[in-house]
């Protein structure tokens, strides 16, 4: 064998030749998309803890996954045809995780945690440990505002149905408006797993763009007088109330809606660990170590679903547009609900603040160094002073941006308020 033949065989065995096969250009496009997402996550710090993982998972799957006669290449990390057989009701491998384990690649195995609902449930465990329900318990009427902030979910659902999606797919698209990535992933993996890639990327992209999407709407729908209202905490919530709350919520909600048991159960268990006062070590573990580990697997696994052949479709564009509309109308619904409460309360409610605290991404707000809209003692009776490196906007250190413990800010409200 001469040198020329050796080089030709080496080229044929490499992945480069696959870019020139039928449909190979789609993989090149998805590789470009993954590089764009990496840029947004690293340079612009748009949800970097998840977006970087999702983008790199997208890169890996589109570099290694080329279709030959309708099947993935032998070196593929993710095999869509295995998951098609997994979802084929009545088929030989219907819901067979053993078949996935025996024949799948690395990303197939990691994706089992998404499909089974393991990763989103574990993330909710950490979120529960980060969450202070004190403001909600002190003013239960805020639940009504939370309901108003879901307006975009329903509008996106009906819009998706009108555009030709079936009920399960429309429900998965609509949940983007809930601004809750883990819930969107959990619901989509159950109802419409074929749409998981575009829905997850749309959900987390819009969550990252909150400081750009919400301030114009807040300016448009509220007055300067409403935005300057300083809210007062109605009463101090006792420790007993905070301990009883997760137990009662878990009992009532799971009995009413048994399908919510994985998410609600984990959310309330995490919150109970936080509030009971005798499991600080467990609370700290799920807030920090466990959340970080699960985030690694979740991001890469979701990115693996962005296979070029299924991602580059007209449906993806529809999902992106519907997701943006869902996000915007959910913000509008929350603001309108806040304005109603402003009128009913006699001007004691700040609509932008109330709307933001109702959103999923601001569920763990801490009042740090005197936010103009929160009095001292808004959370747990004490203001929280963040270190000097906990800046706001894109300059914030990642540690404080993503609430790795109860001292940190999760879903920085001020980065929204300072722009309105």
Phi, psi values for residue 332, rounded to 5°: -60, -45
Assess if residue 11 is contained within a domain. Answer: no
246 and 272 in contact (C-beta within 8 Å)? yes
What average pLDDT does range 82-91 have in this prediction?
Answer: 87
Q: Which tokens belong to 2?
A: 């001469």
What average pLDDT does range 341-358 have in this prediction?
Answer: 73
CB atoms within 10 A of CB 49: 19
328 and 320 in contact (C-beta within 8 Å)? no
Report the pLDDT value the prediction gives residue 110, as an integer from 0 to 100.
Answer: 93
Phi, psi values for residue 20, rounded to 5°: -100, 0
Assess if residue 15 is contained within a domain. Answer: no
What average pLDDT does range 227-232 have in this prediction?
Answer: 76
Share of the chain above pLDDT 70, in %: 76
pLDDT band of residue 318 (cuts 50, 70, 90) is: very high
Task: With CA atoms as reference, report the closest residue to 410 among 178, 142, 131, 203.
Answer: 131
Assess if residue 240 is contained within a domain. Answer: yes
Count up the domains in the chain and report the number: 1
Q: Residue 412: is its pLDDT beyond 60?
A: no
CA-based Rg of the chain, rounded to a whole angstrom? 23
How many helices (H) does the chain have, and how many strands (E)? 24, 2
Calpha distance 304→189 (Å, rounded): 13
Q: How far is CA 269 from CA 87, 157, 181, 253, 256, in A?
A: 31, 31, 20, 13, 18
Assess if residue 149 is contained within a domain. Answer: yes
Q: Which tokens belong to 79?
A: 């095999």
Calpha distance 339→330 (Å, rounded): 14
pLDDT band of residue 256 (cuts 50, 70, 90) is: very high
What average pLDDT does range 344-366 have in this prediction?
Answer: 60
Assess if residue 150 is contained within a domain. Answer: yes
**Best mean pLDDT range from 67-81, 89-103, 273-287, 338-352:** 273-287
Q: Name the pTM for this structure.
A: 0.76
Assess if residue 52 is contained within a domain. Answer: yes
Assess if residue 48 is contained within a domain. Answer: yes
* Residues listed for the chain: 420
Phi, psi values for residue 71, rounded to 5°: -120, 155
- Class of residue 243 by CB neighbours under 10 A (exposed 0-12, middle 13-18, buried 19+): middle
Assess if residue 277 is contained within a domain. Answer: yes
Report the pLDDT value the prediction gives residue 75, as an integer from 0 to 100.
Answer: 65
- Angle between the N-to-C axes of helices 167-174 and 314-344, in degrees from 0 to 180, rounded to the nearest 10: 50
Report the pLDDT value the prediction gives residue 144, as an integer from 0 to 100.
Answer: 76
Half-sphere exposure of 248 (CA within 13 A, CB side): 7
What average pLDDT does range 39-58 have in this prediction?
Answer: 87
Q: Residue 396: is its pLDDT beyond 50?
A: no
Enumerate the β-bridge partners of residue 368: 384
pLDDT band of residue 145 (cuts 50, 70, 90) is: confident
Three-state secondary structure along 21-37?
CCCHHHHHHHHHHHHHH
DSSP states along 144-191? HHHHHTTHHHHHHHHHHHHTT--HHHHHHHHGGGGT-HHHHHHHHHHH
Task: With CA atoms as reference, report the closest residue to 391 among 383, 400, 382.
Answer: 400
Domain that residue 229 falls in? 27-417
Enumerate the β-bridge partners of residue 72: 67
Quick one: which H or E segment has residue 262? helix 261-275
pLDDT band of residue 292 (cuts 50, 70, 90) is: very high
CB atoms within 10 A of CB 141: 12
């Amino acid at each position: 064998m001469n040198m020329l033949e050796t080089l030709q065989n080496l080229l044929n065995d490499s992945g480069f030749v696959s870019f020139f096969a039928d449909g190979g250009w789609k993989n090149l496009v998805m590789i470009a998309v993954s590089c764009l997402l990496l840029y947004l996550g690293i340079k612009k710090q748009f949800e970097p803890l998840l977006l970087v993982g999702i983008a790199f998972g997208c890169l890996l799957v589109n570099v290694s996954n080329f279709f030959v006669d309708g099947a993935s290449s032998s070196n593929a990390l993710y095999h869509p045809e295995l998951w098609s057989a997994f979802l084929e009701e009545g088929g030989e491998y219907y819901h067979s995780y053993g078949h996935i384990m025996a024949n799948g690649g690395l990303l197939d195995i990691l994706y089992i945690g998404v499909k089974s609902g393991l990763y989103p449930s574990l993330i909710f465990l950490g979120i529960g440990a980060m969450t202070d329900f004190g403001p909600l318990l002190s003013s239960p009427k805020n639940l009504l505002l939370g309901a108003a902030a879901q307006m975009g979910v329903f509008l996106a659902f009906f819009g998706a149905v009108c555009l030709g999606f079936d009920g399960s797919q429309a429900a998965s698209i609509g949940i983007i408006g809930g601004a809750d990535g883990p819930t969107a992933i959990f619901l989509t993996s159950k109802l419409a797993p074929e749409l998981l890639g575009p829905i997850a990327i749309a959900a987390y992209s819009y969550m990252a763009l909150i400081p750009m999407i919400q301030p114009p709407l807040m300016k448009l729908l509220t007055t300067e007088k409403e935005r300057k209202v300083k809210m007062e905490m109605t009463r101090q919530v006792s420790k007993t109330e905070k301990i009883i709350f997760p137990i009662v919520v878990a009992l009532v909600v799971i009995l009413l809606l048994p399908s919510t048991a994985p998410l609600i159960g984990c959310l309330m268990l995490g919150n109970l660990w936080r509030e009971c006062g005798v499991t600080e070590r467990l609370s700290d573990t799920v807030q920090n170590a466990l959340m970080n580990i699960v985030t690694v697997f979740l991001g890469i696994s979701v990115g693996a679903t962005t296979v070029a052949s299924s991602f580059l479709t007209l449906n993806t564009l529809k999902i992106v547009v519907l997701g943006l509309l869902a996000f915007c109308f959910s913000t509008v619904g929350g603001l309108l609900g806040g304005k109603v409460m402003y009128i009913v309360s006699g001007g004691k409610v700040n609509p932008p603040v109330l709307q933001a605290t109702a959103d999923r991404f601001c569920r763990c707000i801490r009042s740090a160094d005197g936010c103009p809209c929160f009095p001292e003692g808004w959370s747990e009776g004490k203001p929280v002073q963040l270190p000097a490196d906990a800046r706001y906007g894109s300059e914030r250190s990642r540690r404080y941006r993503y609430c790795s413990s109860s001292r940190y800010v999760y879903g920085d409200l001020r980065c929204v308020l300072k722009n309105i």
